[in-house]
Amino acid sequence: MEKIEGTAQVAIVMGSKSDFPNIASLFKILKKFNVEFLAKVCSAHRTPDEAVAFAKNAKEDGVKVIICVAGMAAHLAGVIAANTTLPVIGLPMACKPFNGIDALLSTVQMPPGIPVASVTVGSAGAKNAALYAIGILALSDDKLAMKLHEFRIEQTLQVHNTNKELQDELKSCF
Ligand code: RP5
């Protein structure tokens, strides 16, 4: 069984290197929170043995949560989840011709007994996958929980600021 090269609490597995440019917001959030991660290309279809071996060893290798990134007939999250009891987050990618609805349904439609927490397609999903993984780690990490709390406050303030801008614009327009 293949062992993970290097280890980290968050593992990101992508079905293809072609997914990488579309998940920048995932890496941005993990870096913002100083969460260490490992990332690798491993396909449920093209390298099925490696995908299973990765999932079977992940817990022992110190991984706490796995984010699976895949497009088209996206079975990666399901195959990984079938081979570990670690929490698995599925991040569907948009590919032609169905623009991600195929990957979303493949990811979210898990049969009962093998859960995958699916986020939405693309960049918004990538950001939420990272935040969800951080939320899981924060259950046993008070410092991370505080950072997540501060992130929410910062986000709320940003919305308040945009609302203020809108009110000013409305005053000057009408
Ligand atoms: C999926 O097929 C990958 O996750 C990717 O989103 C899609 C296309 O892969 P490539 O043909 O670009 O390698 O398995």
Residue 1, pLDDT score? 42
Residue 42, pLDDT score? 98
Ligand 1 center to 134 CA (angstroms): 26
CA-proximal residue: ligand 1, atom 9 (nearest): 16
* Whether the Cβ atoms of residue 111 and residue 143 lie closer than 8 Å to each other: no
Q: Ligand 1 pocket by C-beta < 6 Å: which residues? A: 15-16, 18-19, 43, 70-72, 93, 95
Residue 4 in this model has a pLDDT that exceeds 70: no
pLDDT category of residue 6 using cuts at 50, 70 and 90: low
Q: What is the pLDDT of residues 61-116, one digit of tens each?
A: 999 999 999 999 999 999 999 999 999 999 999 999 999 999 999 999 999 999 99
pLDDT category of residue 7 using cuts at 50, 70 and 90: confident
Q: C-alpha 87: how far from its chain's center? A: 11
Ligand 1 center to 84 CA (angstroms): 23
Ligand 1 center to 151 CA (angstroms): 32
Residue 104, pLDDT score? 98
* Whether the Cβ atoms of residue 100 and residue 125 lie closer than 8 Å to each other: no
- 3-class DSSP state for residue 27? helix
Distance CA 81, CA 11 (A): 13
- 3-class DSSP state for residue 9? coil
Q: What is the pLDDT of residues 10-19, one digit of tens each?
A: 999 999 999 9
Taking alpha carbons only, the member of 2, 8, 94 closest to residue 47 is 2
Residue 5 in this model has a pLDDT that exceeds 80: no
Q: What is the DSSP string of 115-164?
A: --EE--SHHHHHHHHHHHHHHHHHTT-HHHHHHHHHHHHHHHHHHHHHHH
What's the mean per-residue pLDDT of the chain?
96
Residue 174, pLDDT score? 87
Nearest-atom number in ligand 1 for the CA of 46 is 14
Distance CA 5, CA 124 (A): 29
Token readout for 51 is 């995908």
CA-proximal residue: ligand 1, atom 7 (nearest): 71
Q: What percent of the chain has pLDDT over 90?
A: 95
Residue 56 in this model has a pLDDT that exceeds 50: yes
Residue 2 in this model has a pLDDT that exceeds 90: no
